[in-house]
Each structure stands twice: as C-alpha cells, then as structure tokens.
Amino acid sequence: MKRRNFLTLSTVTALYVLTGCGGGSNTEDGNNSAAGTSSAVALPIPELKIPTDIGGIKHYDLNIVEAKHSFFEGIDTNTYAIDSTYLGPTLLLKKGDNISINYTNKLNVETTMHGHGMHVPGNMDGTAHQPIAVGATWSAQYTVSQRACTNWYHPHYLHKTAPHVYQGLAGFIIIEDAESQNLDLPKRYGLDDIPLALQDRFFSTDKTLLDYSPDNMELSQGYIGDTFICNGAIEPTFDAEAKEIRFRLLNGSNSTVYDLGFSNGKNFKQIASDNAFLEQPLTMTQLTLSPGERAEIVVDFTNDTGDSLTLHEYRNNKTFLNININKNATDVTTLPSTLTTLDTIGTATNNRQFRLGMQSMGNFTINDLAMDVNRIDVALAQGDIEEWEIINTMNVDHNFHIHNTHFRVISRNDAPDQVPSNEKGYKDVVYLPANEKVKLIVEMPSDGITADSNNPYMFHCHFLEHEDNGMMGQFTVT
C-alpha cells in the first residue's frame, strides 16, 4: 500500500487542463458541472462555530472524532476531524471575551489541543502537559487578551503531533478587536474573508488512508506530500465577488515551505503576519510561509470580472486553489493605507542562543539537547525582554516557534536589512533556511499570565517531524 503509485496531483492537473474547465463551468452555487475531475469541488469553508453563552462565558463544545472524508470522488478516506470530516470549525473570538473551549476526545488515542499563537496561561496551552485521555473532555478557559490576528488550533502531543495533524486535526482561531472591526477590510466570513488551510498529503494507493510514513530522509528533509490540499479539498474552486477579497493563509503542513502567489502574477497586499496587522499593507507578488506561519492578504478583483486564476505554490509547482471572479460585488471595501501601530519592544537585558541541530539520524536537538518533558530549559519572568539568536546549524530548513508571546525579527544572518518587510510585524514563527540564523527580540508580557514548571510553555521547530523527534524545549514565566 505504498503511496507512490496512485493518481498523482500532476495527473489531476493534466486532466484539469485537458477538460478546460475553471472558467465557465461553475454553477451559481459554486458546484462545478464538470464531474470527474478534482476541479469540480467548491472550496470548503470551515463552519463558523457559534458559542453558547453561559453566565458571560462563551462555551465552544468541540468533539475530536474519527471520520471519513471525500478527497477523491466516490472514495472515503479515513481521517481525524473536529466536528467535521477533516479539519475543524473556525472559532471567532473577540478581545476581552471570556471563553471556554471544551475539547472531547472521541478518538481511541490520547491527544491534546493547543491554541497556536494564543497568549494564555501555561495550564491552558494544550501541550504535552495537558493530555486529553480517550473519552475525556479538556477545557481551555481564558480571557482573550491579544490583538486581532489569525491563529489556529492543533494537537501538541509529545512525539505524536505530526501524525495527529496529518490525519486532519487543525482549525482556525480568528481574533477580532475594536481596531480590526473598525478598519474597512473584507470581513464577511466565507464571502470576502476566506480562511485557507494549506497542506500537502500522501494517500495510500487506494486512497482510503492518509499515508503518514516518513523515512529517515523525509524526517530530516521534509515529508512533502504529492497531493496539495486547500481546506481539505484538492484544487477546489472559489467563485469570488468582483471586489477586494481577504485570504487568511495558514501553512498547516507538517514540513513543507510554501512560496505562494497568483498564477497570472497579480499582486496582492499583505495586511497581517502571524500575530497582528502590519502597520501598512505591503504590495507583493509572492509570499513565503513555513509550517505554522500565517499571513492575511487582500487581493483586489474589482476590475477582474470574468477572469480566472489560481493560488499557486511555486517551490513545488502545485495549485492550491482555482479562483473565478464571476460574482457581482455585494459590498464595497477600500483597503486603508494605515492598519495599526505596533509597539516597539524595549531594550533586551539578556541574550540567549538556540542552536538547531541533529544528534543522530532522525534525532533533533536544540543546544545539543533533545526535548525532555521533565526538564525546564529556560526560566523567564514577566516583563523580561531578551534577544534570542536562533542558529540553524544544519543543511536542511527549520523554523522556530515560541508559545505565549510574539516576537520581532531584528536581523537575518546578522544583517538587519536582510529582514524582509513582511517579517517586521508581530511573529510567532520564524523561518530558518539551511545554515541561516536570525535574531529575535522577545518579551514576556507583564499581565499576570504565567506558566510554572508543571505546565511550561514550549519553543520548538514547527516542522512537525523535527518537533516530534526532539527539536523542542520548555520555558517557564513566573
């Protein structure tokens, strides 16, 4: 049941080109009449989860389940999902909300659920220290205390994050605040505000299973699937209104770096990086996202009625999404020239170095140590401001993610001017190409949100195969 033999995406692409669909064959409701090709699938939009308000606390009840999902017409593929058949619903949180996200584990294996990018106490972080036993419910309860951004939730189970995510466990967390609600941005979820979870997968030959079986080389160099998927669909089609459209891009892959752009070279504005708006929209034609990174972009289709284009991935030459601009605008937005003001982080009072490396084939380390849940690597206090230098000592790509807080990138390879403009905002994941290094300024907020040694935060490579195999450490904030 090896994965290499089945109908590959390039075959699907060839079919798509041969049948010539993409432009005129979509019906009004987004269903494509040209059955038999993957392009017939309308872009799935994750359900927007409506919470139950009990005594001023918004409760989100979510079930982690085994499911069957149709990636290929007429074939059920076994998956994991959150109240869905693949991925999970979107949680729309507002700054100041008191929330309780209740995850019930209906799998036959233990897992966890972590809010990536969330500023929450260590015991609400959903890491290896907060396992959800089979049949049990775990609640992440906190007050949303951060700026508008696009975050996501996914398992963070020790040594098993990669396979659990691979089977389908992930969902969006969108945070809004007064500022984001007042800006004249596309914000009609599913109409002009579109979350896109970008992933790649291998399937078993009969396509009934997601094939997670990286060998040692793939553990190291990346487990890059031959089928690229967008919100759990293969090359789906989005019928867009002829207006500004906002895409919330998430690299939800295990270990693939995506270079994203539109097939016709159309430019777009990046408006947000991981943890906040950028101060001004940045005009771009291509955007690199490593695993776990997010970017919000706005693309203006106002004068593009009748056009078709794709969201393309240039590094692996794959199509994520077909877009047809074939609907009249039912609203008008005008992207503001200023989005926000970002606080500068003060002066660092301490420096640290984190060397990403490998002990032996398939065993990864930070500062020569593999992850140990019983070891605290870094002890910090609220209000600490530090400069962290992350050095990729290897000939393969990594990245670096810090829980609880955001950081700003000071330099790449010791050069401040090598930091691209779209990395100058609030980040929680930073890409480290082979043999490169970055300097970050990191601050632990002084707002009473802490993590003790029983429930520490993590820092790690977000290439999930690296994280699962040792490239992770733990820190406390007291």
Which of 60, 86, 463, 475 is close enough to bind Cu ion by CB under 5 A? 463
Whole-number minimum distance, CB 423 to Cu ion, in Å? 18
Edge-to-edge strand list for the sheet holding 437-443? 363-366, 350-360, 385-392, 437-443, 407-412
Whole-number minimum distance, CB 462 to Cu ion, in Å? 7
CA dist 331 and 333 (Å) reads: 7
Q: DSSP readout, 44-91?
A: P---BPPPEEETTEEEEEEEEEEEEEEEETTEEEEEEEESSSSB-PBE
DSSP 42: B
Residue number with CB closer to Cu ion (232 or 357) = 357
Whole-number minimum distance, CB 73 to Cu ion, in Å? 36
Residues 6 or more apart from 412 whose CB is under 8 A from it?
418, 419, 436, 437, 438
Residue number with CB closer to Cu ion (173 or 366) = 366
H or E segment at 465? helix 464-468
Whole-number minimum distance, CB 149 to Cu ion, in Å? 23
243 makes contact with Cu ion (CB under 5 A)? no
398 makes contact with Cu ion (CB under 5 A)? yes
Q: Is 411 helix (H, G, I), strand (E, B) or coil?
A: strand
401 makes contact with Cu ion (CB under 5 A)? no
H or E segment at 10? helix 9-19
Pairing of strands 91-94, 171-176: parallel
Tell me the number of residues near Cu ion by CB under 5 A: 4
CA dist 113 and 160 (Å) reads: 12
Residue 112 in tokens: 């966890």
Nearest 5°: the CA angle 344, 122, 387 is 35
Residue number with CB closer to Cu ion (246 or 401) = 401
294 makes contact with Cu ion (CB under 5 A)? no
Segment interacting with Cu ion, rule: CB under 5 A, options 268-276, 369-377, 391-399, 410-418: 391-399
461 makes contact with Cu ion (CB under 5 A)? yes
Segment interacting with Cu ion, rule: CB under 5 A, options 274-282, 401-409, 411-419, 465-473: 465-473
Residue type at position 300:
D
Residue number with CB closer to Cu ion (93 or 257) = 257
Nearest 5°: the CA angle 161, 122, 179 is 95
Cα 323 to its chain centre, rounded Å, is 21
Residue type at position 17:
V
Segment interacting with Cu ion, rule: CB under 5 A, options 2-10, 268-276, 394-402, 441-449: 394-402
Whole-number minimum distance, CB 251 to Cu ion, in Å? 14
Segment interacting with Cu ion, rule: CB under 5 A, options 45-53, 231-239, 272-280, 397-405: 397-405
246 makes contact with Cu ion (CB under 5 A)? no
CA dist 199 and 116 (Å) reads: 16
318 makes contact with Cu ion (CB under 5 A)? no
Whole-number minimum distance, CB 294 to Cu ion, in Å? 18
Whole-number minimum distance, CB 291 to Cu ion, in Å? 9
Residue number with CB closer to Cu ion (281 or 470) = 470
Counting beta carbons within 10 angstroms of the beta carbon of residue 447, is it exposed (0 to 12), middle (13 to 18) or buried (19 or more)? exposed
175 makes contact with Cu ion (CB under 5 A)? no
Whole-number minimum distance, CB 392 to Cu ion, in Å? 8
Whole-number minimum distance, CB 395 to Cu ion, in Å? 12
Scanning 76-229, the segments in alpha helix (DSSP H) are 161-166, 178-182, 216-221
CB 3 within 8 Å of CB 205: yes
Residue number with CB closer to Cu ion (277 or 463) = 463
Whole-number minimum distance, CB 159 to Cu ion, in Å? 15
69 makes contact with Cu ion (CB under 5 A)? no
Q: Which residues bind Cu ion (CB under 5 A)?
A: 398, 461, 463, 466
